Amino acid sequence: MAGASKRLKVTLVRSTSGRLASHRACVSGLGLRRRHHSVEVEDTAAVRGMINKVSYLLNVEEV
C-alpha cells in the first residue's frame, strides 16, 4: 500500500470572528470558508499542526 495515504475530514464548527489572525490563517489554510463547511485533507505533519492550533474550532474525523 505504498500509494495509500490517510485522509481527514475537517469541519469548521465555530466561527472565526474575533479570533487571532494566525488562527484565522490556519482555518483558511485548511481550505475552510464558513461554519459547517467540510474538507478532506491529507494527514501530514503540517496539516496536523494547523489542526492542533485551532482544534477548539474544528471537528476532525478519519475518512
Query: Is the pLDDT at 4 greater than 90, yes or no?
Result: no
- At 5 the pLDDT is 78
Q: Where do the domains of the chain lie, and which CATH numbers do they carry? A: 7-57 (3.30.1390.20)
Q: Which residue pairs from 3-6 have beta carbons closer than 8 angstroms and sit at least 24 positions apart in sequence?
A: 5/42, 5/43, 6/42, 6/43, 6/62, 6/63
Query: Is the pLDDT at 24 greater than 80, yes or no?
Result: yes
- At 2 the pLDDT is 57
Q: 7-44 burial, b if ≥16 CB within 10 A, otherwise e?
A: ebebebeeebeebeeeeeebbeebebeeeeeeeebeee
Give residue 55's pLDDT band: very low, low, confident or very high (50, 70, 90): very high
Give residue 6's pLDDT band: very low, low, confident or very high (50, 70, 90): very high
pTM above 0.85, yes or no: yes
From the list 5, 56, 62, the residue with the least C-alpha distance to 27 is 56
